[in-house]
Structure 1
């Protein structure tokens, strides 16, 4: 079977979506299918296209023998909303050429958001005469409206119209969470059109190892009890709760340190907030390749996942939950809904409500004082994801549900 993956985000970019899509692509290939990718030149999250891709409109390369067709994009890190729209639409139209350059396809796997890739999706279906599998990893524009990030009624109306057209055009709609599945059913999408493709993890990439002493020295974490947050730092993640907990712990527990690895739209504001709070117990590290993350987890005693309280958060499964559990370190999950249920089922950590920094600080202290509990929870969490959330088993079941 020949499958074409269409996505704006893909390695060597770093980020949750990039890692997930690469793992899905590898698992599809390992199941015996042919797969090609049409994507943009790398530019996320720093808004800089690497030298080897600059000055070109199109380039073909590969990663681990997966053919990749890359097309031009207007790079942007952060800034005004119109610049972000330029970023989206520049790839929407340049990707037409990538689709033409790609080989024959029986199925086209399309990652959304960004929602505007729907225009490219419709073009790809017409050109390739292939069945469309629309992978909805976030309900846009609904989630952006819920968070108050998009308020223009005209834009919301146009986006909702495109969203409906995409759902109608797709042969199957693939989703990451049970919450999205229920939302699609509520919109009248037939249940037989929906398939489940949840987040997963490669357990070997996050197998526990001895602390990386060189990295420990570099980050000035020797002798520290480290709380690790690794992933996107966006508005929905509500990472203020970690900084407020750090402030509460700083004076009486200087041995506790927070290591925040990643990037996102909120990172500059969070770093400014930490500076204003005079936090010397917080370390900041940019996004790292997934192959390096094992070394950062080796420094941690506890991993952390946070979400802000908002309407759609109950249907969210943060991707950072699975590496956190796979690393055999207890996970503190600040949030509600599906992510919380997974942590509870795993018995690999503690769940607390969102936006309660004093409770987070208290939970950290309780785990610090109970090394036996930390060890037990860590082992249970790793066993759980190996059994239920390895990419091999997840993608295998997804392909089976599609009848492929």
Structure 2
């Protein structure tokens, strides 16, 4: 049995695409006869506070589903203050160095990036000719930070670019969540062995529910992080509600803004349902007609994992984020695409959607496409062969 260590900043019981992705990777490798360990911070995302069951601990180790999990201390925050966010990343990096110093590290290590600094700490301190380092890149930093407006091209940005290049150079194998990510990495490290590893979901999809013919309005739903990048508050303000209603699930930095907007506009058909468990969410989503996936700005390399999750549920997708995600939705006929950032185009597109299109047969085709094309098991087989 081969030992594998996964280093990540997100892991269950935290919610979200990042924690789900790493959990499925760890679980998939364990089922393929790997002895899997995971290093992750004490759970704190997305609230920025250490979860109640882990408060007051410096380290918490447990075995869950035959996976050994080491949860390390960090300074938890969701502050927009760049200094505090840096302190948070540095605190976890210091905890990692402490762990590396006093524990035996397997010869195969998978490192999640971003955060860039945490990945750098792992790549720098674990470099060895006897060790295989696999870098799992889910977003391109610092490019994504620049496109989101969180970073500016200055001395600090140049340092982050150097860290990014070091991480690629130090890796033996690179896993990329999108073709754009792999294309970018190949321009910097063309000699590196790489593999496309998308964030495909792993769940048994519930039976699709047929739409009631008595419903005249299209029930649009968003489920996920209510962060700056998603721009759900702006979406609420820009949508035309002539023949739609908007339902929102999730939590994040914009939650208070969204709730305040709903209170100030009680006549608008916007409904906030809060955060629910993943299994409960899957059942709830079946009652809606279309799932919207927005990004406030097009982010190079980013492919929202919601595309694959909604498709497996048989839920038609309205994609509003640009980039590679557009191609996936169009090529696989998963729904509709509006021009990124163009709310006028979005509203015109919604106005053209007829409820007669939202048939049970159409939803079933989407679900079958997802099962056949977005196959996590095939991906895991490829990764296990590389390891």
The answer, yes or no, to whether TM exceeds 0.5 is: yes
Residue 223 of structure 2 is matched in structure 1 by 230
Per-residue Cα deviation, 1:33-83 (whole angstroms, up to 9, x for no partner): 121100000001111212221111111023322110011011112331111
Counterpart Cα distance in 2 of 1:366 and 1:241 = 22
Aligned to 2:280: 292
Contact 1:245-1:360 within 8 A present in 2 as well: no
Does the CA-based 8 Å contact 1:228-1:259 persist in structure 2? yes
Q: Output one character per residue of 1:80-126: Cα deviation in whole Å (capped at 9) or x when no partner.
A: 11111111111111123344566541211001111111343135515
Distance 2:272 2:353 in 1: 23
SS at match of 2:288: coil
Aligned partners of 1:95 and 1:223: how far apart in 2?
A: 55
Alignment of 1:5-404 (within 5 A): 5-99=6-100, 104-122=105-123, 124-126=125-127, 129-151=130-152, 153-187=154-188, 189-204=189-204, 206-208=205-207, 225-240=218-233, 242-246=235-239, 248-249=240-241, 252-253=242-243, 256-275=244-263, 280-310=268-298, 312-313=299-300, 315-371=301-357, 373-400=358-385, 402=386, 404=387
RMSD: 2.6
Question: By how many angstroms is 1:367 displaced?
Answer: 3.6
Q: Secondary structure at the match of 2:303?
A: coil
Single out whichever of 222-231 and 190-199 deviates more from structure 2. Answer: 222-231
* Runs of 4+ residues over 6 Å off in structure 1: none
> RCO greater where, 1 or 2, for CA within 8 Å and sep 6 or more?
1
Distance 1:224 1:142 in 2: 40
Structure 2: which 5+ residue stretches go unaligned?
A: none
> Higher mean Cα deviation, 143-152 or 342-351?
143-152
Distance between the aligned counterparts of 2:364 and 2:103, measured in 1? 44
Report if the CA contact (8 A) 1:203-1:386 is conserved: no
Kept after mapping to 2: 8 A contact 1:336/1:354: yes
Aligned length: 382
How far, CA to CA, are the matches of 1:92 and 1:208 in structure 2? Answer: 44
Normalising by structure 1, we get a TM-score of: 0.86
Aligned residue for 2:327, secondary structure, equals: helix
Q: Is the 8 A contact 1:207 1:326 kept in 2?
A: no
TM-score of the two chains, using structure 2 as the length reference: 0.89
Q: Structure 1 residue 281: deviation in Å?
A: 1.8
Preserved contact between residue 329 and residue 377 of structure 1 (Cα < 8 Å): no
* Structure with a larger share of its residues in helix: 1
